[in-house]
Structure 1
Amino acid sequence: MTSLRLPATASANVTTRAAALTGPLPAAPRRTRMVTLDLMRGYYVGVLAAVHLDYLPSLLGLFDGRGSLLVSEAENFFLISGLLVGMLRRRDLERHGPLRMARNAWKRAGQLYVLAVSLTLLFTVIGRLAVAHGVSNVKVGLDSDSSPMALLANTLTLRYTYGWADFLTFYVPMFLIAPLTVWLLSRRLAPVVVLLAYAGFVLPSHYDTSFFSPFLQWGVYFFLGTIAGYHWDDLRRLVGRLSPAVRRALCTGLVVGTVLLYLVGMLLLFHPELIVDSDTYNHLFQNNRLGLLRPFAAPVSFAGTFLLVRKYEEPIARTVGRLLLPFGRSSLYVYVAQSFFVFLIPFVVGPSGFWENTVFDVSVIAVTWFAVRTRFLAFLIPG
């Protein structure tokens, strides 16, 4: 296997639509790689292991937010997935037509479906065996009672998912719908996609959407990313037509907004007494990650982070990029590998003190890096 990608994306090798949002338009297109996005998704997928392990207090826990900030790593992870889908499926549509575009999207959906079902069954078997042998720290949500046939049926229909790779299940319907989304975008119906995505996000807060809730919750970020990816060149041209002063103000505003979202989130994370009785805050930002303003905050955070990483891309790539780039370029592999480590570690050892927990976090990331280098789980993961 020569290339591994974000769950649900094809290769990150794209045309010069991958250049920086505010950079000059190139005279002659050439194929390049979005190093900035590789660095970003490398961080997002790399920190997921520590977030899922959730052993606090720890050094990483002091700044990663453990998925509890105003914008989480997972939300930006879905945004990047959708962005690359928008870029690549537009290329398919323009070069080969709608049938090839749909076939490529549905092929990826099929690959992720097989992987998600297999992992759910595998983690369920491991979980049941662990419980039978007296292990108590098994991830919640385990189906320990259903018959084999009922378990298989629920897993095949995606009504049951288990383990720390459950996002793969959410990606499957997104990829099934991606061709329709790209077709709507090609008809200049981006506002329709935005409205449908936001409407879907709001539904679980007001109606019992049960089986569809995770798809609706995470789909808004994926499809907002798809819109941005499809119109990447258009956005660059639009920004390029702005005066230098306006463009500078826009970029500064996005970066400042990103920093403020992070700082406010960290303040409230460490001082929950400030909002413990605030129904308004819960309704707007929390509510089990269904706060109404979260889908508006996430694009700001993503854009500001992109601009910051793009500006300092070279020094980042030379330093922490040695870890982040392999993660970003093999993000599906990393995501699956860390799901095994995070699932199994609580069987052996639980949270402890600050330095012990820090060692656990760093160890999972280090072992995941080793897994990337050796590819010893490659047989499980589609290319």
Structure 2
Amino acid sequence: MTTATLRTSRAFSDWIPASWAYPETGATRDLRLDFMRGFVIPLLFASHFEFFSALMFIGWERIGVVSTAEVFVILSGIVVGMVYGKKVKRDGLAAVMPGLLQRSVDLYRISVVMILIVAAIRYIPWLDSTVITTFHDPYGGNTYQLYPALDANLSTVISKALLLQIGPHQFQVIGMYVAMFVLFTPLVFFMLTKQRVGLLLGVSWVLYAIHYGAPFQSLRPTGAQFEYAFPLLAWQLIYVHGMVVGYYKQDVLNFFKGAWGQRLLYLCVLMTLGFIWLTLNHPLVQFPDWARLQVIPPDTFLYIYNEYFPKSKLGIGRLINAVVLFVSIYALLTVCWQPLHRALGWLLIPLGQASLYVFFTHVFLLLAIMNTPLPGYNDFWINTAIHAGLLALVWVMVKKEFLFKWIPH
């Protein structure tokens, strides 16, 4: 174990053995990030396979007012900043650009392929594709068609697919990632190589503020479907900052090992616990009384939630919650790595390392399960078995590298 790891562990030495700490080897791949991405996958299933089950007790914003999307985007930015950033520092931005362009093409291609496959599935008469071709707003009660009518011209479908203007809503976060990767990644690396970090982060905050103050859904520069849920000007903030953190990862870790960093870490943990307490007051009728706090009146909670935690605008409360939760979980994995890795690493790390593959395949698993009688039973234990079975199936598919040659991972 390195001196750096020991310093981190000493802050918790009164109650956590130093031997549990993450072994800092200096490798580019950080298994803590893979573990966190893997942890997102069960939450993803809870969000998109909307059957109330045991998974919902952690999946429906139970560990903070944070969804899978925020964690996924932050992690994506950090990993890009780490992996490509190391090459940029060594070989320069020009040498890295071909790899960035190839990754952009791969991401864009898989998005268009997904859209077109689902478009074709709609014509199978005995298959109900409603779950992936429409979006039902549980709050407004409206259902939105995500694809043109079946009698629309093929050219219309193809053009909208190429512009990412249609597609299953369960996959649209990948569309956002495509746009983020193409439009922001080269610019961020350029600014970092010029050491204009302050200007870069300042511009990022200005774009966020512009969108935050604009009328709802008025600023959608790409015109893509994902911007209804993940407007680019708002969500670029956590991607850009994630890239900067990944690029300067060692400096950031060194800061948190210092006195002020330790104080900030403790503050993040306390705020995380506070956000957990807050979200447990959410008046979700699906949860029994014992699983819900009732300290905050429902009307007051919903006002706070809608005012400061809107997902579409990446509300300031949701933004802060995502950051402090990320820091807290990363710190927990740092000091308690060995027991957590033994308990869950076998499951979560493979899923995290193949997260794009899981995002792609889970859409079709959702379609398959919705065309069985099982969801119709609306039974807690059947629903729990559905979630557990699907997660196990995806894990096996990843371990067997099923269709890895065709599906990016």
Category of TM-score, reference length = shorter chain: 0.7 to 0.9
Q: Deviation at 1:97?
A: 1.3
Cα distance change on mapping 1:92 and 1:200 into 2, 3 Å: same
Partner of 1:166: 172
The answer to whether the aligner puts 1:53 opposite 2:45 as a matched pair is no
Partner of 1:209: 219
Q: Deviation at 1:296?
A: 2.7
Verify the 8 A CA contact 2:118 2:167 in the aligned structure 1: no
Query: In the aligned structure 1, how far is the partner of 2:335 from the partner of 2:116?
Result: 44
Q: Deviation at 1:278?
A: 5.1
188-197 or 98-107: bigger deviation: 188-197
Q: Secondary structure of 1:33's match?
A: coil
Q: Deviation at 1:110?
A: 0.6
Give the TM-score taking structure 1 as reference length: 0.83
Q: Deviation at 1:96?
A: 1.3
Q: Which segments of 5 or more consecutive residues in structure 1 lack a partner in the other structure?
A: 1-15
Query: In the aligned structure 1, how far is the partner of 2:62 from the partner of 2:101?
Result: 30
Cα distance change on mapping 1:100 and 1:280 into 2, 3 Å: same
Partner of 1:114: 109
After the TM superposition, which residues 237-316 of structure 1 pair with which residues of structure 2 at under 5 Å, given as runs?
A: 237-240=254-257, 242-243=258-259, 246-268=260-282, 270=284, 274-275=298-299, 279-286=303-310, 288=312, 290-316=314-340
Partner of 1:359: 385
Q: Which segments of 5 or more consecutive residues in structure 2 lack a partner in the other structure?
A: 11-23, 135-144, 285-293
**Quick one: which of 88, 92, 100 aligns to 1:97?**
92
Partner of 2:287: none
Q: Deviation at 1:247?
A: 4.4
Partner of 1:194: 201
Amino acid at match of 1:236: L
The answer to whether the aligner puts 1:382 opposite 2:375 as a matched pair is no
Amino acid at match of 1:253: L
Query: In the aligned structure 1, how far is the partner of 2:244 from the partner of 2:97?
Result: 16
Residue deviations 1:42-79 (CA, integer Å, cap 9, x gap): 111233122211112x1111222169951222201110
Q: Deviation at 1:122?
A: 0.4
Identity %: 25
Q: Deviation at 1:80?
A: 0.7
Give the TM-score taking structure 2 as reference length: 0.79
Cα distance change on mapping 1:217 and 1:322 into 2, 3 Å: same
Verify the 8 A CA contact 1:36 1:306 in the aligned structure 2: yes
Query: In the aligned structure 2, how far is the partner of 1:116 from the partner of 1:164?
Result: 12
Partner of 2:351: 327
Partner of 2:17: none
Amino acid at match of 2:178: V
